[in-house]
Each structure stands twice: as C-alpha cells, then as structure tokens.
Structure 1
Amino acid sequence: MTSSVSSTSHVAPEGERRPFASGWTIFAGVMLIAGGIMAIFEGISAITKDDLIVVTRNYVYQMNTTGWGWIHLILGIVIVLAGAALFSGATWARAVGIVVAALGMIANFLWLPYYPFWAIVLIAVDAFVIWALCVGTTRKPA
C-alpha cells in the first residue's frame, strides 16, 4: 500500500521557512499582547495610585506596591514585544514567548494578595499562551 499526502496539507516541507506564523502561534501572540497590555495597566495603576491597592496583613511575602508596579510595567512591555515577535514565525520568538509567559505567571502569583481576580485572569492567559506555543508546531516528521 502506498500512502499519499493531500495537496492541502499544512505541513511545511523541510528547509522551507514560513514567513508568517499561523494557528496557535497567532493565538499566543494575540494573547501575549493582550496580557502584556493588562500588565502595563496593572503596573501603571500600582505606581500612580499605590494607596488604591489593598494590602493584606501577615502575608508570607511583602513588597511595596510601587515596586510591584514597576515590575509589572517592565514585564508587561517585554511581554507585548514578545507577542509582537511571534508574528514573525521565528522559533526564538516561541521560546521567548514561553519564558516571558512563565515570568508573567510567577509575577501574578506573587501579586495575588493585592488583586486576586486580576492576577488569576492573567495567570490563566499566560497558561493558555504556554500551551499554545508548546502545541503549535506544524513540522513534518523526518
């Protein structure tokens, strides 16, 4: 028996580089950009109105909310840039996207005592991004 490959296959031949990302990578890029923008707003709100943030007592770790604001602002900018880089379809952009999404998850886990709902939403967004970047390959097996 012979096997045939459909002419409408979405698998890129060996050595051929796709100029643009597709499928799950585009989803991950859009979600990274959206999550990064939310992190930027989160950082700006913590920097400008640090008395607005609810700080719980006796938590395992504490940090000045203005400091957390700067962390979220800088990380949000890096996340947006990583999300934009994913549209190139480059492998390095996928690796960077996974790393910054993981860093975003850690930062939002540490942010839980200050804004629990927002932190949980961003943790979920980052989890979807990591999942999409890990399953989004369309390479032909050798």
Structure 2
Amino acid sequence: MTDMPHGARPRTTGARDDGRAAGPLRYFGVLLLLSGVLSVLQGIAGIAEDRLFGVPRAYEYRFDLTGWGWIHLVVGVALIMAGVAVLRAMPWGRAAGVTVAAISLVTQFMFIPYYPLWSISVMTLDLIILWGMARIAVT
C-alpha cells in the first residue's frame, strides 16, 4: 500500500514506460508542433515578401517583412523542437516548451498590426500551451 491520502493521485512526469509522453503532455506537445508549423509558414510568407501581410504606417515594432519572417521562422523551428522534446518526454522539454511558447506569444503580439487574425489565433494557441503546461504536475 502507499502512504497517500484517500482520493489523492500520484504525481507523474508524464512519461510512459517506452519514453514517450503520456496524457496531457502528449496533447501539449502536439499543440507546440502546430504552433511551430504555423509560425514557420508565417515566416516563409514574410521572407518571400508575400502580399499577404499589411504594412502599418506608424508602429513602434515596425521591421521590414523579411526581418519579421526570419523572427517567425526561428521561433517556429524552436517551437517544433520543443514539441518533439515534449513528445519524447525529454527532461528539458517542458521548460523549453513553456519558454518558447512565451517568446512566440510576445512576437505574435508585436506582429498584430501586420496580420491580426493570424496573430491572435496563434497567440490563443500559445496561451493554451502556457496555461496547460504550467498546470501539469511534476515529480
């Protein structure tokens, strides 16, 4: 028997016996991958100087679209790497996921004037990742 009180659940790291993520970590790992892919696509569109984005006239965080494209591409690749780390239950995966999702949230916020609907959608995804991964119990 265990020394746990009645009704208490054991705290887990979210790893299965085969080294892959289990339960909520699998869900948030997939969301990290999704956010990463969306950021990579956004970055490619910016680097290609696509006409998809509007250019605000007066804005404090105004960079050329190529600069924003590289920022989103780098953040997107980092999100994908963190998502793979979370799905493989690597010890540093959760911390990396939370950190990169927070960076993605800030960069998307700064990008709102260029493409509001896309940025707000990815920001919502990043907030869900941050909220969920911060709530998962760790031993």
* 1:137 to partner: Cα distance: 1.9
Q: Which amino acid aligns with 1:137?
A: A
Match of 1:117 in 2: 117
Q: Which amino acid aligns with 1:46?
A: G
Q: Which runs of 4+ in 1 moved over 4 A?
A: 3-6, 9-13
Match of 1:86 in 2: 86
Number of residue-to-residue matches in the alignment: 134
For residues 17 and 47 of structure 1, the distance between their equivalents in structure 2, rounded to whole angstroms, comes to 40
* 1:75 to partner: Cα distance: 1.1
* 1:11 to partner: Cα distance: 4.4
Q: Does the Cα contact within 8 Å between 2:16 and 2:22 map onto a contact in 1? A: no
1:1-142 maps to which residues of 2 (within 5 A)?
Answer: 11-12=11-12, 19-137=19-137, 139=139
Structure 1 spans left out of the alignment, 5+ residues: none
> Structure 1 residues 57 and 72, CA, compared in 2 at 3 Å: closer, same or farther?
same
Q: Does the Cα contact within 8 Å between 2:43 and 2:70 map onto a contact in 1? A: yes
User: Percent identical across equivalent pairs?
Assistant: 33
Deviates more, 1:129-138 or 1:108-117: 129-138
The structure with more radius of gyration: 1
Q: Does the Cα contact within 8 Å between 1:23 and 1:136 map onto a contact in 2? A: no
For residues 12 and 43 of structure 1, the distance between their equivalents in structure 2, rounded to whole angstroms, comes to 36
What TM-score comes out, normalization by structure 2 length?
A: 0.84
* 1:115 to partner: Cα distance: 0.6
